[in-house]
Amino acid sequence: MNDPENVRPWGFYENLAEDSNHKVKRITVHPGKRLSLQRHNRRAEHWYVVEGEAVVTLGIRTVKLLPGQYVDIARGEDHRMENPGSSRLVFIEIQTGDYFGEDDIIRVEDDFGRC
């Protein structure tokens, strides 16, 4: 079972690795769900899709991704991951920067009222 602290309304994540300059998560998004539109001041992210299909918002553009495809997200860039499919979406998130706390999430828009 997943750690309740890592369960979100859109799915869940698992911490795979963490050091002073990076953090790695495996993130699962349920069908039809999406993360908040957000940005970070202290980290950049690399998202690599391993299962399912994704629609990623990067600033004002959207990118469709399939397994084996990825996007890079700069510090301060608005971004969101969405699962438009009927099966789960799994992606690996690699964070780089100097701080990886959940309180570095600035939510711009959220389907679950967490702004």
What pLDDT, in 10s, does the model give residues 31-42? 999 999 999 999
Maximum CA extent, the chain: 37
CA dist., res. 96 & res. 93, Å (int):
10
What is the C-alpha separation between 4 and 61, in angstroms, rounded?
33
Averaged pLDDT of the chain: 95
The full set of domains in the chain, from first to last, is 4-97+104-109 (2.60.120.10)
Q: Give pLDDT tens digits for 68-112.
A: 999 999 999 999 999 999 999 999 999 999 999 989 999 999 999
User: Is residue 73 a contact partner of residue 61, using CB atoms and an 8 Å limit?
Assistant: no
Give the predicted TM-score (pTM) of the model: 0.93
Q: Is 94 helix (H, G, I), strand (E, B) or coil?
A: strand
88 secondary structure, DSSP code: -
Q: Are the C-beta atoms of residues 95 and 78 closer than 8 Å to each other?
A: no
Residue whose token pair is 């711009």:
108
